[in-house]
């Protein structure tokens, strides 16, 4: 194929020295205005064609790094040549896209290098697009270049569809009439080529993945994949022209074989992407408002009864003291923590505060992940609650009985313990009862015992609109949370049943 030969002849994306600009530029000029750094370009031996880019920082080191990335991106995408034709830019774009599609992935170190490079190029192209005057061909290439870098990162995550879509798009774009190739302000936006869900999702993740950690990032990718398949099934290939009827059809397709609560979660992910797309001027409008289902959408997860929890704790006590399953199950029951929060605990996270032994749920180390900012907390351990033996637990921690000591990740811990719950409870386990029902049991127990909602939320790591916990973890507040858990688990409760709150 001519594409492949072009890809072979062009400089590799990850070579040490970037390719040279096709149009020789005079030495870039950096200057400051009101404290901020700017980068100015002009073709060599010419006074026309000058354009300036704000580096949007007052820090010189950061400014020089951004400047270097922008110049590198200009070279890779041939954007430094104001006279470049669409055919020239198209050849380069196809070569880059083809190379991104052919790179072998699977090695962690190599994948990280590629991911960082793609993000660097995406950021540089985005920065370049904020200012300057480009030809129609350059504007189009700039827009597609951003999509290519976002799609390349999506392929790293196992989603190659966006790259394939981009290749098809480039091949079908009509040549630009040089007579009508007027200079465009980038604020007007790029030519309105078709925009698929895969491409839009890739662009969204390129900007937001830095804020999505661990399981949250994986969940977003999974949801986006499901949504993409639904769009394909209903025949929506260009979101620039989508309608309200398309969104209703998508919702109906997502409902096939799924519960209303699951569909609502998917619709929330959809709306986040579409709302961002309008703000980022990728779409002129979006039609996802008020798609959420109301009938049958309540959570169907049911809390465990006290009798069921006692049965599970009795089983846990019978396991070896060095068993990570024993102490993970016990901690889930007496703290109401999430399985991921317990899985990431280390010896250093078992500590004393205000004279009370607690687990410190945080993301202070690489590899740790919490759901949101409210999840960061200390949860006191109540000795004797549900027959929990604090001294035995502390001894086991020193002996290496935490799941992290055994390299157990949240997904493995969840799978193993959910099976254990099923085996131990047998026919008494309800269809909608899972390991997470232990969390709901503690929350429901505190509610039934009359614990103020603010302290129950503090123990569970949930947001509260009524109280601020700026001093949570020291002094009286941690004592109040300890009393809340103690009141919930040691109160005179015969059973907690019903829907999770």
Condensed to tens digits (0 to 9), the pLDDT of residues 396-440 reads 999 999 999 999 989 899 999 999 999 999 999 988 899 999 999
Q: Report the DSSP beta bridge partners of residue 380.
A: 358
Which among 366, 340, 339, 361 is positioned nearest to 350, based on CA atoms? 361
pLDDT above 80 for 290? yes
Q: Are 73 and 150 in contact (CB under 8 A)?
A: no
Q: Give the pLDDT score at 124.
A: 74
Q: Give the pLDDT score at 298.
A: 55
pLDDT above 80 for 183? no
Q: Give the pLDDT score at 435.
A: 94
Q: What is the largest CA-CA distance in the chain?
A: 88
Q: Over the stretch 133-159, which tens digit does the pLDDT of each residue have?
A: 667 788 888 888 888 888 888 888 788
Which among 403, 396, 398 is positioned nearest to 368, based on CA atoms? 403
Residue with tokens 């979660």: 265
Instruction: For residues 2-28, give the mean pLDDT.
Output: 44
pLDDT above 60 for 353? yes
Distance of CA 247 to the CA centre of its chain: 23
| Type and span of the H or E element at 184 | strand 184-185
Q: Give the pLDDT score at 12.
A: 47
Instruction: For residues 213-238, give the mean pLDDT.
Output: 86
Q: Give the pLDDT score at 162.
A: 85
CA–CA separation, 174 and 178 (whole Å): 12
CA–CA separation, 124 and 418 (whole Å): 46
CA–CA separation, 454 and 32 (whole Å): 50
pLDDT-based confidence at residue 247 (cuts at 50, 70, 90): very high
Q: Over the stretch 362-386, which tens digit does the pLDDT of each residue have?
A: 988 877 778 778 788 999 999 999 9
pLDDT-based confidence at residue 271 (cuts at 50, 70, 90): very high
DSSP state of 289: T
pLDDT-based confidence at residue 47 (cuts at 50, 70, 90): low
Q: Give the pLDDT score at 231.
A: 94
CA–CA separation, 21 and 25 (whole Å): 8
Q: Give the pLDDT score at 242.
A: 93
Angle formed by the axes of helices 476-490 and 437-448, nearest 10° = 100
In whole numbers, what is the pLDDT of the chain averaged over residues?
A: 80
Q: Picking from 199-208, 235-244, 401-410, 440-449, which range would have the lowest pLDDT averaged per residue?
A: 199-208
pLDDT-based confidence at residue 464 (cuts at 50, 70, 90): low
Helices (H), 193-258: 197-208, 215-234, 244-254
DSSP 50-114: -EEEE---S-HHHHHHHHHHHHHHHHHTTTT-TT--HHHHHHHHHHHHHHHHH-----HHHHHHH
Q: Are 212 and 273 in contact (CB under 8 A)?
A: no
DSSP 320-363: -TT-HHHHHHHHHHHH---HHHHHT--GGGEEEETTEEEEEE--
Instruction: For residues 122-132, give the mean pLDDT.
Output: 69
Q: Give the pLDDT score at 374.
A: 79
pLDDT-based confidence at residue 80 (cuts at 50, 70, 90): low
Instruction: For residues 12-31, give the mean pLDDT.
Output: 54
pLDDT above 80 for 392? yes
Phi/psi region, residue 193 (left: phi>0; alpha: psi -120 to 50; beta: rest), is: beta
pLDDT above 80 for 53? no
Report if pTM > 0.85: no
Contacts of 422 (CB under 8 A, 6+ apart): 429
Give the chain's domains with CATH numbers. 2-193 (no CATH), 306-490 (1.10.443.10)
């Amino acid at each position: 194929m001519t594409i492949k030969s072009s890809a072979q002849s062009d400089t590799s994306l990850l070579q040490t020295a970037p390719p040279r600009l096709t149009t020789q530029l005079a030495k870039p000029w950096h200057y400051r205005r009101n404290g901020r750094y700017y980068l100015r370009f002009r073709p060599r031996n010419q006074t026309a064609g000058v354009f300036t880019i704000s580096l949007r920082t007052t820090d010189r080191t950061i400014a020089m790094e951004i400047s270097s990335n922008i110049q590198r991106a200009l070279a890779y995408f041939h954007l430094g040549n104001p006279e470049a034709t669409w055919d020239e830019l198209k050849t380069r774009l196809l070569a880059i896209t083809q190379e991104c599609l052919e790179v072998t992935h699977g090695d962690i170190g190599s994948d990280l290098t590629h991911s960082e490079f793609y993000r660097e190029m995406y950021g540089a192209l985005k920065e370049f697009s904020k200012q300057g005057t480009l030809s129609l061909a350059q504007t189009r290439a700039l827009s597609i270049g951003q999509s290519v870098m976002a799609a390349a990162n999506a392929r790293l995550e196992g989603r190659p569809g966006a790259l394939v879509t981009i290749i098809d798009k480039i091949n079908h774009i009509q040549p630009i009439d040089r007579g009508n190739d007027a200079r465009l302000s980038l604020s007007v936006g790029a030519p309105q080529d078709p925009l698929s869900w895969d491409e839009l999702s890739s662009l969204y993740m390129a900007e937001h993945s830095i804020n999505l950690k661990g399981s949250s990032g994986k969940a977003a990718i999974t949801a986006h994949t499901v949504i993409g398949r639904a769009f394909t099934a209903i025949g929506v290939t260009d979101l620039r022209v989508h309608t309200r009827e398309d969104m209703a059809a998508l919702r109906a397709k997502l409902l096939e074989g799924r519960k209303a609560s699951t569909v609502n979660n998917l619709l929330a992910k959809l709306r986040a992407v579409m709302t961002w797309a309008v703000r980022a001027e990728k779409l002129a409008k979006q039609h996802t408002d008020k798609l959420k289902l109301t009938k049958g959408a309540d959570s169907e997860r049911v809390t465990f009864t006290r009798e069921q929890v006692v049965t599970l704790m009795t089983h846990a006590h019978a396991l070896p003291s060095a068993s990570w399953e024993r102490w993970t199950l016990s901690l889930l029951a007496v703290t109401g923590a999430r399985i991921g929060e317990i899985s990431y605990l280390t010896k250093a996270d078992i500590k004393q505060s205000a004279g009370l032994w607690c687990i410190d749920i945080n993301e202070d180390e690489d590899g740790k992940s919490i759901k949101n900012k409210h999840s960061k907390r200390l949860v006191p351990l109540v000795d004797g609650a549900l027959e929990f033996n604090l001294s035995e637990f502390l001894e086991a921690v020193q002996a290496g009985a935490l799941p992290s000591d055994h390299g157990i990740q949240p997904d493995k811990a969840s799978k193993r313990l959910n099976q254990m719950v099923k085996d131990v409870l047998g026919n008494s386990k309800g269809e909608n009862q899972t390991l997470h029902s232990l969390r709901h049991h503690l929350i429901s127990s505190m509610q039934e015992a009359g614990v103020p909602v603010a302290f129950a939320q503090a123990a569970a790591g949930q947001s509260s609109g009524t109280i601020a916990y700026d001093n949570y973890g020291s002094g009286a507040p941690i004592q109040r949370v300890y009393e809340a858990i103690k009141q919930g688990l040691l109160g005179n409760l015969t059973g907690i049943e019903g829907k999770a709150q």
